[in-house]
Structure 1
C-alpha cells in the first residue's frame, strides 16, 4: 500500500483546480478563468487498490504582494511544500514565465521529487516543439517525470497518477477509503457561492469580494444556509445585487443548485451583501473571514 501527500503548484490560472477535480472525479475546487480563484489550500483524497494519494490544491504562486491577501496566497502556496512527498508542477504551455525561476529555487530548497506536468497538451500541434521543450526542461531541473496532459479532457491523467503513486512511500492509508476531502460542507458552500460571483462579476469585481457562511443548519430533509457576501465599497454592493436584485437572485439560484448536488439534499440559501472596507488588506479582517493566520 502506498500513501502520501501531493502538492499541486504553479502560477495562477494554469489549471491546478481543474486537474485535481478530474483526478478525483468530483468537483472540490472551484474554477474560473480569472487568476487567484483558489484562495485556500484544499485536500482532495483519492484511494485506489494501489494506494492513497492526498492532493493539495493551492493558490497560484505569483509575484504581486501589494495586499495582505496576496501575501497570504503566496505563503499558503509556499507552506504546502512542507510535509508533502511529491510535487506536481503545472505549466499551461511550452514556455517559462519570469516567476518560474523563483519556483525552481523553492523546489531546490525543498529537495522533493517533482513531476512536471504540461497542461492543455491537446492545443499543442507542434509535437517536435513539445519534445524540444521537454529536453530543455530536463536540462533545467532533474524532474522525476514529465507528463503532457489535458486536465479538462482527462488526457493522460492515468499516466500521471501512475507516476505519482510510484513516488509515494509505502504506508497505510491515512483517511477512510470513502473520504474525498478534509473540508466541511459549509466551506464548500461558501466556495460555490464565490465561484458564481467570480464567474458573473469577475470583470468588475475580480478580487474585491469574499463569502462567509454565518449559519449552517442541517435538518433531515433540508439544509438552511445563511451567507454574507463581503465587498470593500458601497458601490460594489449595488453591482452584486444588480438591477431590482436580479444579479443576486441568479447567483443564489446557481449556487443553491450546485450545493444541492454536492450534499445530496434540498437547500434553502439566503444571501446578504455587506461592506467591510479594505478587508483584503487587513490581517484582522482576513482572520475574521476565515483566512488562517498565515499573513505575518
Structure 2
C-alpha cells in the first residue's frame, strides 16, 4: 500500500521590519531568486513584492514590504499601506530586526502584540556581532514581544538559519491548495523588475536625496526571439536633479544604463537593448495622480 500523501499547505508570509534590517536579502535567500533590489541605503523597497516558493506539497507566498517609517510624503503613506495590507493577509509574520536595532519601532510592535497570527521574530546580521550581543538581543525580544512563537538569530546574507526559518514557516501554514500556478515565481510582471533594476543602480550610484527623488517607468517592453527592446524614463522632482542623473557629457546616465542592462541580461537570459530618458515631474512624491500612475495604489 502506498503511504497517504502529505496534505498540501499554502499561505501568505509577510516579511516586515524597519528599513535596512535585511528584509529583501532574506526574501531573496528564502525564494532562491533575486526578486527584491538590495542596496545599503534605507527605504530602497517601495512596493509589496510577492516571492513564491513551491514544493510538491506546499506553496509559500512571501511578501517583501517597504521598511516601516513615519510617513513624510504621500509616497510614504502609500508604502505603509502596502505594509499594513500585507499584515491583514498574513498566515505567518516574519518580523525582521537586526543586531543594531535601536528598539524604536514601538507602533508596529504594539500592533504585533495584538495579532493572533503566528510571529517568527528574526534577529538578522548576527555575522557582524559577538555571541553576547546576540544573546542580549534575543533576550530583549523574548521579553518585549512575548507572543512571538519563535525568536531566531539569522544571517540572511550568509544564509545562516534560513533553512530553519523555512521549516518554522511550513509548520505553521494552513492546509490549503496553491494560490498561484506552481510554475509562478512572483506576482509582478517583467516590466516591474526591469524598472527596479534601473532604480537599484540609481540608489547605488547617486548620493543624498537624489535616489529618493527618482522613479522609473518602462514605457516600452518588446520581447523578440533573441533580444528584448526597452524604452524607459527616469522621473525626478527638480531640474537640478535631472542634471545630476545625466552627469557631465551624459557619463553618469550611461553608467546607469550599462550596469542595469548587464543585470537585465542575467535576469531575462537574453540580450537587452535599453534606452533611458530623464524627465522632471515636479513633486511627484506628494502628487496622488503621479503616485497612482507609478503603481502606488494598493
SS in structure 2 of the partner of residue 110 of structure 1: coil
* Counterpart for residue 198 of structure 1: 203
Check if 1:219 corresponds to 2:224.
Answer: yes
Question: Match of 2:5?
Answer: none
Matched-pair contact (CA < 8 Å) for 1:34–1:206: no
**Structure 2 counterpart of 1:56, from 59, 63, 67:** 63
- Extract structure 1 runs of 4+ deviating beyond 4 A: none
Q: How does 1:28-43 map to 2 (within 5 A)?
A: 28-43=35-50
Give CA deviations for 1:136-168 in whole Å, capped at 9, x if unaligned.
322222211111111111111001111111111
Report whether the alignment pairs 1:77 with 2:101: no
Q: 2: CA distance between counterparts of 1:159 and 1:250?
A: 40
CA shift digits 1:86-139 (9 cap, x unpaired) = 0000001164422x21112221343211000000011121x2443343233222
TM-score, L = length of structure 1 = 0.94
1:137 aligns with 2:122: no
What is the total number of aligned residue pairs between the two structures?
290
Shifted more, 111-120 versus 70-79: the winner is 70-79
Conserved in 2, the CA contact under 8 Å of 1:68 and 1:280?
yes
Q: Secondary structure at the match of 1:70?
A: helix
Mapping of residues 256-275 of structure 1, within 5 Å? 256-275=261-280
What is the alpha-carbon distance in structure 2 between the residues aligned to residue 262 and residue 248 of structure 1? 21
The one of 160, 169, 182 equivalent to 2:165 is: 160
In structure 2, C-alpha distance between the alignment counterparts of 1:107 and 1:12, rounded to whole Å = 17
Cα distance in 2 between the residues matched to 1:187 and 1:276: 20
SS of residue in 2 equivalent to 1:203: coil
Unaligned residue ranges in structure 1 (runs of 5+): none
After alignment, is 195-204 or 253-262 more displaced? 195-204
Partner Cα separation in structure 2 for residue 51 and residue 202 of structure 1: 42
Query: Residue 230 of structure 1 contacts residue 273 of structure 1 at CA under 8 Å; is this kept in 2?
Result: yes
From 19, 28, 39, the equivalent of 2:26 is 19
**Are positions 1:252 and 2:270 aligned together?**
no
On the 8 A contact 1:94/1:133 being kept in 2, the answer is: no
| TM-fit CA distance, 1:50 | 4.5
How high is the TM-score relative to the length of structure 2?
0.93
Q: Write the distance in 2 (CA, Å) between the matches of 1:94 and 1:224.
A: 43
SS of the residue 1:230 aligns to: strand
- 1:43–1:54: 8 Å Cα contact kept in structure 2? yes
2:13 is aligned, of 3, 6, 21, to 6
Q: What secondary structure does 2:87 align onto?
A: coil
Contact 1:94 1:118 in 2 (8 A): no
Unaligned runs of 5+ in 2: 1-7
1:91-130 pair list within 5 angstroms: 91-93=97-99, 95-98=101-104, 100-125=105-130, 127-130=131-134
Matched, 1:243 2:248: yes
Contact 1:23 1:157 in 2 (8 A): yes
Distance of 2:293 and 2:137 partners within structure 1: 45
